[in-house]
Amino acid sequence: MRKNYALKTFIFVVALIILFIPSNASAYTKQGFAMKKADAKNFKYYINGSAKSYKNIIINGAMSWNVSPYLNTVSMGIEVNPHFNISSSNADKGATVAICSTWTYVGVKVVAKNEITTYKSFKSLSVNDKTETIAHEFGHGFGLGHVKAKNAIMLNVGFTGKVKPQKDDLNGIKALYK
């Protein structure tokens, strides 16, 4: 009788653990903002003079999202009315290497504008970590939030060692732009 009770208790505890531990499937979270579908399909960016030394890294980070059928980098330059402006700051923000700030004004003029800014600690990263960081910040600009899944580029802390969006990241984009 006691063995039967112990087995049932064990099975119940395992079932609870399985239910409450997040899986890597659909681990993405939405940040509450999404670009218009047409803008996402043809997104544009501008690299400010302060970030020109990272031009190839920024281009690779932007184009890494092109693996999704819902996103496509089409052009670079201020004259194209960009959805993303990328700049670099010498400010020391500690462990914060970059941020993406999003403005949405419906009433006046700006409908969707993202400002990606790298900080002082960004300079010391490896090329792969810089590319992953830029791709991560573009993800925020598309409306993705942080996740705890270790294999997603939208990981909340640290690096995945990958320079392109992973399955969960792409599932998040699909949910926002399909």
pLDDT tens, position by position, 12-44: 555 545 444 444 444 566 776 778 888 889 888
Residue 111 binned pLDDT confidence (cut-offs 50, 70, 90): low
What is the three-class DSSP state of 178?
Answer: coil
Average pLDDT in the 165-174 region?
Answer: 92
> 46 vs 20, which has greater pLDDT?
46
Query: Would the pLDDT of 1 be above 60?
Result: no
- Considering only residues 27 and 84, tell me which one the structure prediction assigns the higher pLDDT: 84
d(CA 34, CA 40): 9
Q: Give me the mean pLDDT over the 138-165 stretch.
A: 89
- Token pair belonging to 116: 């990606």
Residue with more model confidence, 31 or 117: 117
Query: How does DSSP classify residue 22?
Result: P
Q: Name the pairing type of β-strands 98-103 and 84-88.
A: unpaired
Structure tokens at 51: 């970030």
- The domains located in the chain, with CATH, are 29-177 (3.40.390.10)
Say if residue 83's pLDDT is above 90.
no
